[in-house]
Structure 1
Amino acid sequence: MTQQARFPSPYDLAPPPGAEGWKDLYPYYLTFKDKLRSEEDAKFWFCDAQHWPSPFKPFDAITVEFAVKCLGQYNTRHYLVPPANGVEYRIHNGYCYMSPVAVAPELIADRVPQFLERAGHYFQNWQSLLENWDKKVRANIADMETIHFEALPDAVPIEWIKGGVGLDNTYALTESYDRLIQLLYKTWQYHFEFLNLGYAAYLDFFGFMKSLFPSIPDQAIAKMVQGVEVDLFRPDDELKKLARLAVELGVDAALATGTVDEALAAVGQVPGGDVWLKAWKDAQDPWFNFTSGNGFYSDDKYWIEHLDLPLGYIRDYIVRVKRGETIERPTAKIAAERDRITAEYAELLDDDARAAFEGKLGLARTVFPYVENHNFYIEHWSMSVFWRKMRELGQILQQAGFWHDANDIFYLTRQEIRDVIFDYGNGWAVGAKAAGPDYWPDEIERRAAIMKALATRPPQPALNEPPAVITEPFTIMLWGITTDRINAWLGGDDKEGHITGMAASPGLVEGRARVIRSASQLDEIEEGEILVAPVTAPSWAPVFGRIRAIVTDVGGMMSHAAIVCREYGLPAVTGTGTASSRIQNGQMLRVDGTTGEVTVLS
């Protein structure tokens, strides 16, 4: 391959045929502006396909806005992280691009004491503040659950007239929508309250170890904080318990075939079936508020609404249980490896260094569970409720003739939906026809065609000229954007049949490739294959028992996928950039998760 010096400018990247006019689908502040070309072209942007691997509908851009804005505020305005402000973000051809905002070198020193005071308070009171966070998030979810949207009646209820309420039903409709959006905004404020500090504590420990042992492998440091019990793994653990219970009770045969309703009805007819059905029902709240996607897209399928997904995983686990396999995570083995490596490095330190080592490691282990735990409470549980409520509103407006399908609501921006609610109420109030039913169906059809066209072309991994050296730690740890990775993307490293990436989870295996581009394809995976994907979600864990390793295009050492692979003892190479487009289904691969190398053997 020929080494290139830079990635293309967004201003030179035309949309795919049929996607012209895509910029109209998003708020003005999310796209690159011609007037700002010199300014925007001076920045390096990378594609965050880790969180947003496909183009998103106009409304779904709310997840980019709220998530990345709230990420930035905690670095910049809450804790004053000395070297790092937030992350700028833009949408280009339907994909999200990011550019970290560094702190000017001369300002870093002044931020250090402020960071130590602010972050120090959280570190010193972590447990009590985290208990408070848990209460806040659960209360926020409960508040979202109370929101309901109702179609406008023929007339205001007589009770309202006699009670002197003085309002009509459109007021509640608008108020409920605004409240739902604000509760989502609060959700993402809470999301980052602890997250950046969790990464910061790990990065501090990481830097400390590198200063003492410059040649220490990144994975050795990561192993010292592994072996954690977090709620993100509970949904998968619940399925495993249900599978074992089905075999123990002898209801596994009844569960084996048919639709969900047919299987559950069959279980109810056999001895012990009532016990299993109660366990099945008990597991659903909250653990089935879990998506095989990542929660950022309105079309993510949540288990609670698509019970065929968890039942399918349970059926797979039942087969493995009956074969005598161990389906549980290898927690004891992983903890033993953690303790062994920790002890080996601790023994090399003198008393002063060892005290610092134990202090920094202790803090990293205390805060690290949040790095994964929040994922269940925010991306899965909170977003499950939010998307469900939005579809409820979409259905009411569908019935009012504004569009053909309840999910069409997501082709509008959040501001446009507020206009639609007013239009709906306005027509009702004056006794005339609303304008929307004659406008939105054609417009949604146009937007749907643009979205389909955008999806035909994969995104550029980055834009503009990269810096000579990538040093920003969050960018490296979370997204896997390193100098070596950029060189590989530009064609300077990887050779034919040989792909390099981040050594994300150790182990050396060989197997046939299974290329997966979305969660809807997970049932295609066969026993013993190597999963190759643009990115994986932590919620893909129920298929981890079928595969030998994972290879992804994006993701760093501290990405969710990398952490989950380590906890499941599965070799992984992340951040390859192009593996999912260069590897074909059925090719034999050798994956070395210890070195970050992938070799195509056939």
Structure 2
Amino acid sequence: MTEKSFPSPYDQAPAAGAEGWKDLYAYNLVFQQNRREVEEGKFWFCDSQHWPTVTKPFETIGFEFAVSCLGQYNTRHLLIPPANGIEFRIHNGYVFMSPVGVPEAEIAPRVPEFMARAGHYFQNWETLLEQWQGKIRGTIDELGALNFDALPDKVDINDVTSGKGTGPNNDLLAQYDALIALTYRAWQYHFEFLNLGYVAYLDFFSFCKEVFPGIPDQAVAKMVQGVDMELFRPDDELKKLAKLAIELGLTGLFGQTANPEQTLAGIEAAPGGAEWIAAFNDAKDPWFNFTVGNGFYAHDKYWLDHLELPLGYISDYIGRLQAGQTIDRPVAELVVERDRITEEYSELLSPEQLAAFEGKLGLARQVYPYVENHNFYIEHWTMGVFWRKARQLSAMLQEQGFWPDADGMFFLRRDEVREALFDYVTGWAVGAPAIGPSYWPEEVERRRVIVDALQQQRPQPALNTPPAVITEPFTLMLWGITSDQIKNWLGDSDAPEGEFRGMAASSGVAEGPARVISSSDQLSEVREGDILVAPVTAPSWGPIFGKIRATVTDIGGMMSHAAIVCREYGMPAVTGTGTASSQIVTGQWLRVDGNNGTVTIVEGHAHDLSLAGEAVVQLEQALDGPVLEGSHA
């Protein structure tokens, strides 16, 4: 390893108390000793954008299905010329990835195959997308129909007299198999269109870079902004409900949102309350199938299961509306800016270039919404149903004595859950106690201790020797991992003290006090005028975007969720800073330059921790709006 390399995974000891952690995961998910030379020859980066915390054994289903299907569509369905899939490993509990390149000699032969396959989708986009909607909704319905009740003391006599010939144990095993298979199917659908969305944008992006030398990345991104996206519907539904509560005179009934049953009962009993409750119930299905996390963890809270979350956001919107604030996204302004920039650049082109430009732009705008919309249908809705059913199964086996806590199943791999389930149905079938209750409680506790220990140590941002230049387009656009970013990680940046550099993800400049958030549980701490600083944001954080002035994240590129959402909310964002959330302290005064991708700690402002309480609140209230400087083409 050279001096400017990241550590080898083979040279890193786990956190104290996490010895034996590899036993928690399947053999193909960890770095094997006999493959050291091969694995050290690759560059691995930590995907903290999608998996920011330690992944429990059952939760590996998320990245196994997601990244496997991503690669499947690149490599086997579409034959994207320069990009195969991404290898993945778990190291000390965190997810690491390594893009798989396409040999130079194979790129050209893949072009006609790709054009035929991708071309069919681009030419029939709306029809195929409508078909996709039916497929994914059907899959969600199938998942929702699954049930994991305990086995009865005896088989129903009607099953005997009808000659059915099977028992509920057979159905229970089949339902678990269906839970896994249906989720895998959903992740196949996830990537049916997604990579094409990225390809269309990358094609437009590359064309612009060719015909407009020196064009900022932001200018290209702005030409596709202001489109209607279903991912914003959950937040938009909350805003509509807040406005309706004011219209119906119900605003005084949102003081106890931490108790949703009490709040909803009070509203329903009030004059006009029935109308509001009907609107609330209409919004719930499907738009409250929305997680405060990213859908990859069993502990992620979904609005539908925790109604105190949407009710709290509605209450906050009511207060902001009563204070005379505008809570809607500035869609009209985004469209005006989009059209202005598009026209200015169009005037620089020859007729031949203009025809190509308009064709590529039209395609990019057509497919761009899917890049975010799929997130609602898969990560939020599908995975919400998946985790709800998985929790039901875990709780049922807890009642049978397999583990002491309701979440015990998530410390087993999914193949081990199948074994435990077969153990349960076998004990039921033969009339003898299952073995699991005498085996799993101690083992689950051992694994829980290991997972807790792994949580105490942050992962390295990357492993092994990085390439001289990062060229893989998805790595650049989605994760924001550039050669400059790697220099930052290695401490080789020429940035001055107090400055962080990242991706200029959403234009504008803003100043304000930092609010460092490491999980969605801290969202209630965000105050008006804050600069949000986080390892990564989730799309469901939308309700706080009307409060904050700018966003700073550790990871993410131009096409990351954080970047797209910030552009659609019209606020500055710098993504992919690498370490900002671990080095910036809440209360420090920041200047976020989303035009140049810099975040600066401004000395001489209220950045001392002792001022992070009431003094900062007063300072924030004294500010009447963000300091914004719009970027120009």
SS of 1:470 mapped into structure 2: coil
**Could you tell me which residue of structure 1 aligns to residue 34 of structure 2?**
35
CA distance in 2 between counterparts of 1:211 and 1:63 reads: 38
CA distance in 1 between counterparts of 2:26 and 2:508 reads: 45
**Could you tell me which residue of structure 2 aligns to residue 304 of structure 1?**
304
Q: Which amino acid aligns with 1:208?
A: F
Deviations 1:376-407 (A, max 9, x none): 00000011111001111111111101112222
Deviations 1:326-360 (A, max 9, x none): 10000000111100000000001010000000000
**Could you tell me which residue of structure 2 aligns to residue 481 of structure 1?**
481
Deviations 1:525-557 (A, max 9, x none): 111111111100111111111111111000001
Deviation at residue 269 of structure 1 after TM alignment: 2.4
Q: Which amino acid aligns with 2:507?
A: P
Deviations 1:569-600 (A, max 9, x none): 11110000000111011111111111110111
CA distance in 1 between counterparts of 2:60 and 2:86 reads: 16
**Could you tell me which residue of structure 2 aligns to residue 70 of structure 1?**
69
SS of 1:446 mapped into structure 2: helix
**Could you tell me which residue of structure 1 aligns to residue 424 of structure 2?**
424
Q: How many residues align?
A: 600
Q: Which amino acid aligns with 1:421?
A: L
Q: How does 1:464-503 map to 2 (within 5 A)?
A: 464-493=464-493, 494-503=495-504
In the alignment, is residue 137 of structure 1 matched against residue 131 of structure 2? Answer: no
Q: Which amino acid aligns with 2:533?
A: V
SS of 1:584 mapped into structure 2: coil
SS of 1:279 mapped into structure 2: helix
**Could you tell me which residue of structure 2 aligns to residue 192 of structure 1?**
191
Deviations 1:417-458 (A, max 9, x none): 000111111111111111111111111111111111111111
Deviations 1:211-243 (A, max 9, x none): 111200000000001111111000000000000
Deviation at residue 160 of structure 1 after TM alignment: 1.2
Deviation at residue 4 of structure 1 after TM alignment: 4.7
SS of 2:600 mapped into structure 1: strand
SS of 1:406 mapped into structure 2: coil
Deviation at residue 13 of structure 1 after TM alignment: 1.1
CA distance in 2 between counterparts of 1:438 and 1:175 reads: 25
State whether residues 372 and 560 of structure 1, in contact with CA within 8 Å, keep that contact through their aligned partners in structure 2: yes
**Could you tell me which residue of structure 1 aligns to residue 627 of structure 2?**
none
SS of 2:266 mapped into structure 1: helix
State whether residues 530 and 547 of structure 1, in contact with CA within 8 Å, keep that contact through their aligned partners in structure 2: yes
**Could you tell me which residue of structure 1 aligns to residue 292 of structure 2?**
292
**Could you tell me which residue of structure 1 aligns to residue 614 of structure 2?**
none
**Could you tell me which residue of structure 2 aligns to residue 10 of structure 1?**
9
SS of 1:173 mapped into structure 2: helix
State whether residues 4 and 491 of structure 1, in contact with CA within 8 Å, keep that contact through their aligned partners in structure 2: no
**Could you tell me which residue of structure 2 aligns to residue 80 of structure 1?**
79
CA distance in 2 between counterparts of 1:315 and 1:71 reads: 39
CA distance in 2 between counterparts of 1:331 and 1:531 reads: 22
**Could you tell me which residue of structure 2 aligns to residue 363 of structure 1?**
363
**Could you tell me which residue of structure 2 aligns to residue 246 of structure 1?**
245
In the alignment, is residue 203 of structure 1 matched against residue 220 of structure 2? Answer: no
SS of 1:381 mapped into structure 2: helix
SS of 1:586 mapped into structure 2: coil
Deviations 1:93-114 (A, max 9, x none): 0111111011100111100010
CA distance in 1 between counterparts of 2:304 and 2:507 reads: 34
Q: Which amino acid aligns with 1:92?
A: H
Runs ≥4 in structure 1, deviation > 4 angstroms? none
Q: How does 1:558-569 map to 2 (within 5 A)?
A: 558-569=559-570
State whether residues 223 and 337 of structure 1, in contact with CA within 8 Å, keep that contact through their aligned partners in structure 2: yes
Q: Which amino acid aligns with 1:502?
A: M
CA distance in 1 between counterparts of 2:38 and 2:421 reads: 38
Deviation at residue 271 of structure 1 after TM alignment: 1.2
**Could you tell me which residue of structure 2 aligns to residue 237 of structure 1?**
236
Deviation at residue 124 of structure 1 after TM alignment: 0.6
**Could you tell me which residue of structure 2 aligns to residue 54 of structure 1?**
53
**Percent same amino acid among aligned pairs?**
63
CA distance in 2 between counterparts of 1:521 and 1:24 reads: 33
**Could you tell me which residue of structure 2 aligns to residue 529 of structure 1?**
530
SS of 2:61 mapped into structure 1: helix
**Could you tell me which residue of structure 2 aligns to residue 548 of structure 1?**
549
**Could you tell me which residue of structure 2 aligns to residue 443 of structure 1?**
443
Deviations 1:151-183 (A, max 9, x none): 111111111111111112210110000011000
**Could you tell me which residue of structure 1 aligns to residue 219 of structure 2?**
220
**Could you tell me which residue of structure 1 aligns to residue 255 of structure 2?**
256
Pick closer, same or farther for the CA change 1:210–1:323 going to 2, 3 Å.
same
SS of 1:211 mapped into structure 2: helix
**Could you tell me which residue of structure 1 aligns to residue 340 of structure 2?**
340
**Could you tell me which residue of structure 2 aligns to residue 384 of structure 1?**
384
CA distance in 1 between counterparts of 2:137 and 2:540 reads: 21
Moved more, 163-172 or 568-577: 163-172
Q: Which amino acid aligns with 1:230?
A: M
Q: Which amino acid aligns with 1:309?
A: L
CA distance in 2 between counterparts of 1:157 and 1:316 reads: 52
CA distance in 1 between counterparts of 2:163 and 2:270 reads: 57
CA distance in 1 between counterparts of 2:115 and 2:269 reads: 62
Q: How does 1:506-525 map to 2 (within 5 A)?
A: 506-525=507-526
SS of 1:96 mapped into structure 2: strand
**Could you tell me which residue of structure 1 aligns to residue 617 of structure 2?**
none
CA distance in 1 between counterparts of 2:404 and 2:227 reads: 47
CA distance in 2 between counterparts of 1:552 and 1:11 reads: 29
SS of 1:60 mapped into structure 2: helix
SS of 1:439 mapped into structure 2: helix
CA distance in 2 between counterparts of 1:288 and 1:165 reads: 39
Deviation at residue 495 of structure 1 after TM alignment: 3.2
CA distance in 1 between counterparts of 2:253 and 2:38 reads: 64
Taking structure 2 as the reference length, the TM-score comes to: 0.94
Q: Which amino acid aligns with 1:403?
A: W
**Could you tell me which residue of structure 2 aligns to residue 587 of structure 1?**
588
CA distance in 1 between counterparts of 2:70 and 2:53 reads: 21
CA distance in 1 between counterparts of 2:248 and 2:255 reads: 14
CA distance in 2 between counterparts of 1:488 and 1:392 reads: 44
SS of 2:51 mapped into structure 1: coil
State whether residues 4 and 490 of structure 1, in contact with CA within 8 Å, keep that contact through their aligned partners in structure 2: no
Taking structure 1 as the reference length, the TM-score comes to: 0.99
Moved more, 312-321 or 405-414: 405-414
Q: How does 1:92-103 map to 2 (within 5 A)?
A: 92-103=91-102
**Could you tell me which residue of structure 2 aligns to residue 407 of structure 1?**
407
Give unpaired runs (5+ residues) of structure 2.
Answer: 604-633
> Please, what is the CA RMSD of the aligned residues?
0.9
Give unpaired runs (5+ residues) of structure 1.
Answer: none
**Could you tell me which residue of structure 1 aligns to residue 631 of structure 2?**
none
SS of 1:458 mapped into structure 2: coil
Pick closer, same or farther for the CA change 1:121–1:219 going to 2, 3 Å.
same
SS of 1:5 mapped into structure 2: coil
CA distance in 2 between counterparts of 1:566 and 1:459 reads: 29
